[in-house]
Homo-oligomer: A and B are copies of this chain.
């Protein structure tokens, strides 16, 4: 067999392994060394392939697709800095436990460390941020090489899919010639089935947990949930009569089920409530919600409080170092456990939470009645107007915070996403492109101008694949988030260059470059109309809302003041 045939068989076996373990899609960035894998993947009818020149963007695109269904997405790039561009999305995938399968092409060992073009050390390239790094052998005409290639690919995908899920990296050293034999078809296959275990709660744990659930408690959720998970949690919260607190990513407010008492104004009310609101038990799922006020409130709870953590991945996100019960279980599995138990709901406890939530919500409702149209108002309206079945990605910094602060329960279910693993402002447009592609539903992105600029190349994905994404751009020309933080006390000569960071970009021109529709929303009515229209006829468009960095701060300060006064009555 020629070297070309040997390489082709070897790579086809690897691709068969990827598929056997559940891979159905990939994102390829062009390059030379990766040519054989790129061609064979692209030609495979069972793998849907996308192409993106910018690897940083490509990796976030893959992340977005995997967010929608949890299924693995393959990334492929050539050797060198191309692979380094994947790093930000890999770090995010690691933090939110998503299975990305990163394939990199490499020079063979004899061309490493000798100044060969486009060669660098790709061993452990992503350090501790992938679950596994595999160096494949150079394709060889040896017995069992196909079995090995199939097995390794299938096993790496499985590793990525096992709890705690996360990215894996396979490095393929390839020698010239770099063209595969395109006449060949896969010559190796064997059955390969991985079945995830169901993690049942042991009877001993049930006996320990049950008495805790019969006390006064609160549920704190900071994990990105599917609508189904959110529904389970709300029903469970209703059953045991505990208030439930969670940010937009938990989808608790938007899952279409109004069971239980959801505290949507946690950010506003937690700093004001007294010790009668202190729970005996805190039941936590995932990390903490976006607002820091949850953290601060929990931190003030007395040492006598009992803390329960439920996490399927066994990663206790216990920033306050207080975990007492570590429960390794899927959310649905945990909530279903108590279906047949009767809980005596403490009406006084849940009623006082309902009361404070009602007061806080009324403050928000009232203040927007006569409020001029601005960033805050637009986010409030967006949160309430998104169509059933929509998908929305909330960018980091102000976008997710406003959505959290001004949100309330919606009648229509829709799904909210974020990149809250490491909270970067990078890659958000590419991520939403992935969400739109994999969900095939009308998709929205709420984003500020700095984050939009950071991932401008992502717009090419929306353009190229004609994805129906409406971008709501909160344009305050710079880093609006810092006006909420301690940095705002700085003198302008310190603040402006380092935190204000105005870019003075004209986003109408950006829209023109990428063939997006663009409009400036200047009134509540106009904005509402645009959102409604986007639901009727989804398309790639930018809806710009202009504001100042200071406006939202003033409004929020006023909300806090009004609530404090009202609640004191």
Interface residues of A (CB under 8 A from B): 28, 30, 32, 35, 38-39, 42-43, 49, 51, 53-56, 80-82, 84-85, 87-92, 94-95, 110-111, 114-121, 123-129, 177-179, 182, 222, 286-288, 290, 315-319, 321, 420-424, 426-427, 450, 453-454, 456-457, 460, 479, 481-482, 485-487, 489-490, 494, 497-499, 501, 503, 505-506, 509-510, 512-513
Contact = CB atoms under 8 A, between A and B. Distances in A.
A125 B125 CA distance: 9
Q: Which 10 A-B pairs have the closest CB atoms?
A: A115-B317, A115-B287, A81-B424, A84-B87, A81-B88, A80-B422, A118-B423, A84-B88, A509-B513, A114-B319
A485 B51 CA distance: 20
A55 B506 CA distance: 21
A498 B28 contact: yes
Copies in the complex: 2
Given A42-B498, A128-B121, A454-B53, A115 B82 contact: no
B119 A178 contact: no
Contacts of A120: 91, 94-95, 129, 421-422
Most buried by B among A316, A450, A497: A497
Given A53-B453, A456-B457, A497-B51, A114 B318 contact: yes
Nearest to A450: B53
A422 B453 contact: no
Contacts of A481: 32
A30 B119 contact: no
Given A28-B498, A501-B53, A513-B509, A424 B82 contact: yes
A42 B494 contact: yes
B81 A426 contact: yes
Given A422-B80, A424-B80, A512-B509, A30 B114 contact: no
Given A85-B88, A120-B421, A179-B489, 14 more contacts: A28-B498, A30-B479, A30-B482, A32-B487, A38-B498, A51-B501, A55-B426, A81-B92, A82-B426, A84-B88, A114-B318, A118-B424, A178-B487, A179-B487
B503 A53 contact: yes
A51 to B, nearest CB: 6
A115 B422 contact: no
A286 B115 contact: yes
Contacts of A124: 127-128
Given A80-B423, A114-B319, A424-B82, A54 B453 contact: yes
A321 to B, nearest CB: 7
A21 B126 CA distance: 30
21 contacts: A30-B479, A32-B482, A51-B501, A54-B453, A54-B454, A55-B426, A114-B316, A115-B286, A115-B287, A115-B288, A115-B315, A115-B319, A117-B290, A177-B486, A178-B487, A179-B489, A179-B490, A182-B494, A460-B505, A506-B513, A510-B513
Nearest to A176: B486
Contacts of A182: 494
Contacts of A127: 121, 124-127
Nearest to A115: B317
